[in-house]
Structure 1
Amino acid sequence: MEHVDVGQFPSDKTGDDAMTTALLHLEDHYWTESEYLAIGETLERIELFDGSLVVIPTPTGGHQHIVTKLVVALYHVARNAGLHVFPGLGIRLSPGHIRIPDFLITTELNLGERVFDAPVVKLICEVISPSNASADTVQKMRHYANAGIPWYLLIDPRIETFHLLRLDGDRYTEHAKAAPGELLELTEPVVATIDPADLLPPR
């Protein structure tokens, strides 16, 4: 297996611009993790990175369709393996660096917490959004690898392709990929077979 070349994933130039405009330097304030946690629950999904708050763009209905279908598809197999599935939990990749991925498979959690440490995460998934493509295929991929997340499922609705990436050292290697009508076989952290056609929104 070869290491993933992030250039293989289509990326909109506007993705970097979208991330830049989403960085909120309120009065040039450097946000600490304790200040971030003190914000409490919000309607927006807000991440913390390099002392800045990052507001995640509101997902489309198609995006949420995929995440919901993924939860349904993997819920029971995860439970049978003693694991849990969640859409959108706050994950501490390192001190002061908190991301909210689209979907996760985790070990047992204290459900009273708002943010969880990266070691509880066995698989993380991002559904690529046109306005945020570079973040998912370059920036987050690097950060998830650095945090030691074993598996990264990257779903690209634009080309209807699912990429299953496995952590190999400090980088991800493409373990498998599938398009509608093809089967994506998961053997870790759960055993499951997914046909992208079952998860992608109807045309």
Structure 2
Amino acid sequence: MTPSLLLGKRTTWTESEFLAIGETPERIELFDGSLHVTPGPTPIHQRFAGKLLITLTPPAESIGLLVFEGINVRVGTNRIPIPDLAITTMIDLEELVVDASAVRLVCEILSPSNATTDRVLKMRYYADAGIPWYLLVAPKTATFTLYKLDGANYREHATASPGELLELTEPVVATIDPADLLPPR
């Protein structure tokens, strides 16, 4: 049975039921027993994700970390979001779900269909799971905001717009000018 047919048949899901769906072309996340399905990302969203992957992979791999687009991250019981990008320690590459304890940074790129989810719900989930860094990208303005976990909450650590530099010192050392990720004009 396809995920779209399954969605109409139940209202709550356990993690094991969610994982039994298997790999799908749909982006399906588990939020407190509810499935959250979003449309595919816009081209500008995909461009930011791809460019960030290219930018962050060499410095991450040079210190034994990995960078992924769109992986399942277990942040709590029946909570498995899919961040747009994640930097992790070495993990089992065959596992369907990565535990939050292996994640050093998550990145969400805002989309019209899920901006509130990324700014509020996922930010709370990631903080509760203890993920040290959260990068939020607003494609409309090409603004990057980096948050650092401070106790139980994220606090803004740095922000950059096109022409300004975002300096990452943890979990990787990298300098990003949001203008470099924009499409050519």
8 A contact 1:71–1:85 mirrored in 2? yes
| Contact 2:32–2:77 (CA under 8 A) maintained in structure 1 | no
Aligned to 2:101, what secondary structure does the other structure show? helix
Residue pair 1:66, 1:201 contacting (<8 A) in 2 also: no
- Unaligned runs of 5+ residues in structure 1 are 1-23
Structure 1 residue 32 displacement after superposition: 1.1
Match of 2:3 in 1: none
Counterpart of 1:133 (choices 103, 112, 115) is 115
* Structure 2 match to 1:85: 67
Q: Deviation per CA, 1:81-101: give whole Å up to 9, x if none.
A: 110000000000002110100
For residues 5-41 of structure 1, give each alpha carbon's deviation from its aligned partner in whole angstroms, at most 9, with x where no partner exists: xxxxxxxxxxxxxxxxxxx863344211111111111
Q: Which residue of 2 aligns with 1:115?
A: 97
SS in 2 for 1:201: coil
Q: Which of 144, 168, 173 is matched with 1:186 structurally?
A: 168
**RMSD across aligned positions (CA):** 1.5
Is the 8 Å Cα contact of residues 48 and 99 (structure 1) preserved in structure 2?
A: yes
Q: Is it true that 1:167 corresponds to 2:167 in the alignment? A: no
Q: Please give the secondary structure, in 2, of the residue aligned with 1:131.
A: coil
Match of residue 134 from structure 2: 152
User: Partner letter of residue 188 of structure 1?
Assistant: E
The answer to whether structure 1 residue 44 and structure 2 residue 26 are counterparts is yes
Unaligned runs of 5+ in 2: 1-5
**Structure 1: distance between partners of 2:22 and 2:149:** 33
Q: Percent identity?
A: 61
The size of the alignment, in residue pairs, is 181
Q: Could you tell me how far apart the structure 2 residues matched to 1:105 and 1:45 are?
A: 19
Aligned-partner Cα distance in 2 for 1:62–1:201: 8
CA deviation map 1:96-151 (0-9, x unaligned): 11010000100001011010110100000000012211111111111111111100
Partner-residue secondary structure (3-state), 2:156: strand
Moved over 4 A (4+): none
> Out of 72, 75, 79, which is 2:54 matched to?
72
**Corresponding residue for residue 96 of structure 1:** 78
Q: Secondary structure at the match of 2:17?
A: helix
Secondary structure of 1:130's aligned partner: coil
Larger RCO (CA under 8 A, 6+ residues apart):
1
